Amino acid sequence: MARIVKTADPYKAIKYWRSIALREKNNNIKRAKKLSKPQMYIMVNITRPFFSRVDKNDSKYIRTYRMIIYGMLNYSKSLKTITLRASGYNLGKRLAERGLIRSIDDLPQVFINQRIGLLDIVDESFNNMKIHIYECMSCYGIPNIGMPMCDFEAGVIQGALESLIGKNITKEKYCWGLGYSFCGFEVYFE
Ligand SMILES: [Zn+2]
């Protein structure tokens, strides 16, 4: 991977990560799958370039959060998926109901404030949206473990967009857990 740009400017950070994401998408570049235990990634400390500039304690919070995911994953993978999706969905709906998300334009700043990740809307049509998240709290820096990890993030997007636009299906197609350097979600409105 190219040199990581460290900046506290979200626009510069998003521009940098978007170029990496598009290169990986267009050329179908991804990291080889690790055969080791999927859960082991959680033991590795990570530093998110943008978020650690915003808050020097970022990696500590991320470690704590990921230990929760680790615990759930060890107990039951389906429990982890369902619980985190529902938790994110509740947060997304709540943020919209409380007026913190009033339009799609509010999403990037709210995702930064909540430390979820750098949100980037890359494509929008009347019944479909493509959204990237960079430096995602759930998966940034993990190896290719053969599964998408960002149920919580997918839930936040689904819940927020349900309140703003309407019922939708949000799926994570690209993820660090699948060998990419970004998360890519596809939203289909019913
Ligand atoms: Zn992800």
CA of 149 to the centre of ligand 1 (A): 5
- Indicate if the pLDDT at residue 34 is higher than 90: no
CA of 60 to the centre of ligand 1 (A): 19
Q: Cα separations (Å) of 182 from 100, 103, 148, 167?
A: 25, 24, 11, 25
CA of 127 to the centre of ligand 1 (A): 23
CA of 80 to the centre of ligand 1 (A): 14
In terms of phi and psi (left: phi > 0; alpha: psi -120 to 50; beta: otherwise), the region of 183 is beta
Least confident interval from 66-70, 110-114, 175-179, 183-187: 66-70
Question: Which among 174, 2, 181, 158 is positioned nearest to 90, based on CA atoms?
Answer: 158
CA of 119 to the centre of ligand 1 (A): 12
Whether the pTM exceeds 0.95: the reply is: no
CA of 180 to the centre of ligand 1 (A): 9
99-157 tens-digit pLDDT: 999 999 999 999 999 999 999 999 999 899 999 999 999 999 999 989 999 999 999 99
Comparing 37 with 158, which gets the higher pLDDT?
Answer: 158
**What tokens does 164 get?**
């703003």
Q: Cα separations (Å) of 40 from 37, 45, 57, 145, 182?
A: 6, 11, 22, 10, 20
Q: How far apart are the first and last CA of the chain?
A: 38
- Indicate if the pLDDT at residue 1 is higher than 70: no
- Average pLDDT of every residue of the chain: 92
**What b/e readout covers 139-178, taking b as 16+ CB neighbours within 10 angstroms?**
bbbbbbbeebbbbbbbbbbbbbbbbbeeebebebebbbbb
- Domain 10-17+39-189 sits in which CATH superfamily? Trafficking protein particle complex subunit 3 (3.30.1380.20)
Distance CA 118, CA 107 (A): 10
* Residue extents of the structural domains in the chain: 10-17+39-189
